[in-house]
Amino acid sequence: SGDEGGTWYIDLKSKGGSAGFGKPPVTADVVMSMSSADFVKMFTGKLKPTMAFMSGKLRIKGNMALAIKLEKML
């Protein structure tokens, strides 16, 4: 959400995987929502995913175990 917000996806289910903007090509097992400003902070290492979740800046719906695996990839 916020300035330059939108829907982005990372597909790790399909062979070769993919990432992009818009509707994902397959049904998501995990949906994460946050402001675009916090997203940039998280992916530049200035905000830890666990802290973002615990403080309510990151909302997660779906398979929490997969969300935790994604954190390790960051």
Q: Please indicate, yes or no, if residue 1 is contained in any of the structural domains.
A: no
pLDDT of residue 22: 92
Q: Is 10 helix (H, G, I), strand (E, B) or coil?
A: strand
What is the domain count for the chain?
A: 1
The CATH code of the domain that includes 27 is: 3.30.1050.10
Token pair of 61 as six digits: 């719906």
Residues near 25 by beta carbon (within 8 Å), at least 6 away in sequence:
9, 11, 14, 18
Q: Please indicate, yes or no, if residue 23 is contained in any of the structural domains.
A: yes
Q: How far apart are CA 9 and CA 17, in angstroms?
A: 11
Does the model's pTM come out above 0.95? no
Q: What DSSP designation does 27 have?
A: -
How do the pLDDT tens digits run along the chain, 74 residues long? Answer: 888 788 988 888 888 888 999 988 888 999 999 999 998 998 898 998 889 999 999 999 999 888 888 777 76
